[in-house]
Amino acid sequence: MPRYRAVVAYDGSGFAGFQVQSKRGVERERTVQGELIKAVNQMGKNPQPAIKVVGASRTDTGVHAFGQVIHFDLPFNIPAEAVRKGLNTILPRDILIKEVLVVPDDFHARFSSHSKRYFYRVSTQDYVDPFKRVYTGHFHWHLDAKRIEEALPDLLGEHDFASFAASGNETATTVRTITRADVIVKADEQELVFIFEGNAFLYNQIRIMVGVLLEIGTGRRPVHDIVRLIEVKDREQARYTAPAAGLYLDEIAYN
């Protein structure tokens, strides 16, 4: 059975996250993984047992992706480009297969990755833009971008990010390594775009980091409060979690 790796983009506003949420085998809410499973099994002529679709990241309700990665095994050989075109014919319009490759049998979408990149869009308009409401987090308070730029390097490196992990985090350790933390100011579009890259991220970590950085930008926190938060390992002191709508899984890198 050949194994395929696919890069998937989706508009998360119509999904209850990536991962299937089922009870007794019946999907309770619409998910990205659920739609992918239906499409892949249709392409595979609905074999028994059903074909599994494994994702690299379990994005939450409302979170978007440009570069989610999945893998699956088909019961017969189909050229990778034919798989891409076939799945895009079957899938709903809020999911797009961008690329398909045939990979070795030991490739795993989640465990073979070595880094992930996300970005977070913040709208700074006075009121919620109806055309941005499901694609940006809204924050109308005045922000000093220089304070945010000064704070960002405090996130870099290997740290215990327990203060930035939401309840429900199930990982064995809260130590993570961040290799990139930037902000781009798009004054004409009234937006800030945060970019984070690291070996992995905790549950809601990026949204919590953005929340802290926005409070630093307003002056509600000292510029280097991230250093203190890393030391105290207390989620309650990080406070604000930015909305899911602004978060995008941008790219997953593999060796």
For residues 37 and 222, the answer to whether their CB atoms sit within 8 Å is: no
Give yes or no: 60 in active site. Answer: yes
Q: Give CA–CA dist 56/52, Å, rounded.
A: 13
For residues 189 and 118, the answer to whether their CB atoms sit within 8 Å is: no
Q: Tell me the CA distances in angstroms from 48 to 26, 58, 197, one per residue in order.
A: 17, 25, 39
Tell me whether the omega of the peptide bond preceding residue 75 falls within 30 degrees of 0, making it cis.
no
Catalytic hit among 60, 106, 144, 188:
60
The tokens describing 25, both together, are: 């085998």
Q: Give CA–CA dist 69/53, Å, rounded.
A: 10
Q: Tell me the CA distances in angstroms from 16 to 19, 33, 61, 91, one per residue in order.
A: 8, 10, 4, 17
Residues 6+ apart with CB under 8 A from 159: 175, 176, 177, 178, 230
List alpha helices for 187-238, DSSP H.
Answer: 205-218, 225-232, 235-238
For residues 150 and 223, the answer to whether their CB atoms sit within 8 Å is: yes
**Closest to 76 in 3D by CA, of 99, 51, 54, 53:** 51
- Please give the positions annotated as active site: 60
